[in-house]
Amino acid sequence: MNAGITYMDSPLGPIKIIGDATAIKMVSFVDQIGEEGAGILPIQVRKCKKQLVEYFAGKRKEFTVPVDPEGTDFQKEVWSELLKLPFGITSTYAKQAVKLGDIKKIRAAGTANGKNPIAIIIPCHRVIGTDGSLTGYASGLDKKEWLLRLENSLPNMNQTSMFE
């Protein structure tokens, strides 16, 4: 299937979206808006762009576009668990490792989060340090903090998580 590429402006800077008629393959922050391919964008790419605009406007808490990120089986398992983490809730790398079956997977889970090719929609920004610190966001901690503020989910010690 033919992949489509589009760009959009966001409050955090330009975003590049890649996908085809069946799923989104990539959403990433980029330095500048690039050239889009000629022709009609695949339906999922158009839906993704619309949903991201709604998210940034505070009108969307859940994404419905299908995603199909490329990665190892373990990375896909980590990303699948991230998709279960609801809007407004944070978790920790340690809880994520336990959810994956082994606390010793904490570093591997953190590495997989860092390789997430579908920012925002696969919400790796919702995973924080065990001490509540904002750590480990490939696009920068300033963006992570902004996204958590948008979701009213900056960490506090009274927050519960589905990963507990």
Which residues are tagged catalytic? 124
User: Which residues 6+ apart lie within 8 Å of 58 measured at CB?
Assistant: 150
Pairwise CA distance, residues 163 & 92, whole Å = 8
Q: Amino acid letter at 14?
A: P
Among 89, 80, 142, which residue's Cα sits nearest to residue 113?
80
Pairwise CA distance, residues 53 & 118, whole Å = 15
User: Which residues 6+ apart lie within 8 Å of 61 measured at CB?
Assistant: 55, 87, 88, 151
Phi, psi angle pair for 18, to nearest 5° = -125, 135
